Structure 1
């Protein structure tokens, strides 16, 4: 299955009308409890935590002279305190502090398995209801844009996924992907190396596409067709700017829609990175995301427990996710 071109055509011509979502296949999965199962079926909301980086910055740990993943060893109480603040605000899914925990980025400072074990320990100490093993991009461009092969990327991700499972996570979270081929390598690695639910999010720019040109529709169609258990977007922009992308993904995704926007666009004030969307404005803009059918909801860069508290309130008020205008189609994907 290729990446960059996706043609949608109903056999009778034109676009298909909205239809009932196909029921996800959850057979063979290790699902922690009934609430998580209902969330995977799109029947319950699932509230995910927010940013780690800005919380580290607030605690003076962003300049600790080491990569953030190693703070799980040197400052476990601080990491656990950040997680607990999100739990107290109503987050159900706590994301491990492992965004860059692959063999390339760690450069031998610790093993991948050690980092995930320490990170899960911090999340567990915070009382996380569900722990998502965070898997970010490799940091290298895949061929033909770069020199890393698909197989090399797969091997890196497979090592991470095995560490996620061994550490006792409940979900694999593949996030902030700009290259659909890299996202596919990560998703395949997750499916073939563990039995956990897998969430996958891409990041889109102001032009409505990823850095390498993938549209929201293509990303949703490919990743959900491959079997991801939640598909969506995160990072880059605020909820108002990403609403169109979320609506496009909602129509094409065969599984629950996941959204984790930034708190707007960052700017630097007195040497500190700040964001321009308040928790209240963030929540107001997220109403459109929930109207589009998003059911796995959280925040990314610049968000904090205050933003999570607003999302918890919204989910509790709505109780069940909105129906989605899913459009079944005969789809051809190719390079």
Structure 2
């Protein structure tokens, strides 16, 4: 049975810490619009998770993790589960990483009265994702998993127009342009049970990349791997009932407008929620006017569906 327990008032704790940190200038929140569609000479990179700012610290999650606000939040109450001691972002996740992640998801769900669970507002839902490797959208080497309240992700979207893609990925989605590997998970699973599922999906992802690139050593080595450096770039996502691994071959691609490249759209683990972040209004306008352009970029970021193999 799961032994890590997140604070029972976690949603309220995240919300109050976020509000206080924003008021005090401890974090920067960039409101967004949404729509449905090391050489030794280089100075040491700042590690925001080594000694997190007190204004950003939500809570300690014994024994191995801290919950901290994302200093550069793009949705309100965006927070992070980070290991207390340095662990590599590019190495395989441990059982306690996955157990702690699910504990946060469970705490959000348990905070909402059962009578309100039928609402479409996303209250009580938490979307978790992990970026690993050069093509995954990862930006920090210290191991961390990002958590987004679904209700905050939905703000600005007309009711019923969008829901988290990962919730539907256990079944086959015919129009998804890249391969994902997904499995059901349930409340009460131990960290080791979650990790067994994660490793199975990781190995399937490695096999798909190996088949596409004709590099059998990727799959052969992954079959017995339980720790150390991941053999591929990938995103992991977790919801209350699903765990997903998506192998990655590129971070993104160019955004075109009337035959001219006007920018680039990059994807991290939020792609498994069915979202993308663009940096300029020109990119925003181009993608809204031609949704097929976004679909074309998505075709390039992972293993094409026709290359998928089962293991």
Regarding TM over 0.5, the answer is: no
TM range (shorter): 0.3 to 0.5
Q: TM-score, normalised by structure 2?
A: 0.33
Which structure shows the higher helix fraction?
Answer: 1
Higher relative contact order (CA 8 A, sep 6+): 1
Q: TM-score, normalised by structure 1?
A: 0.31
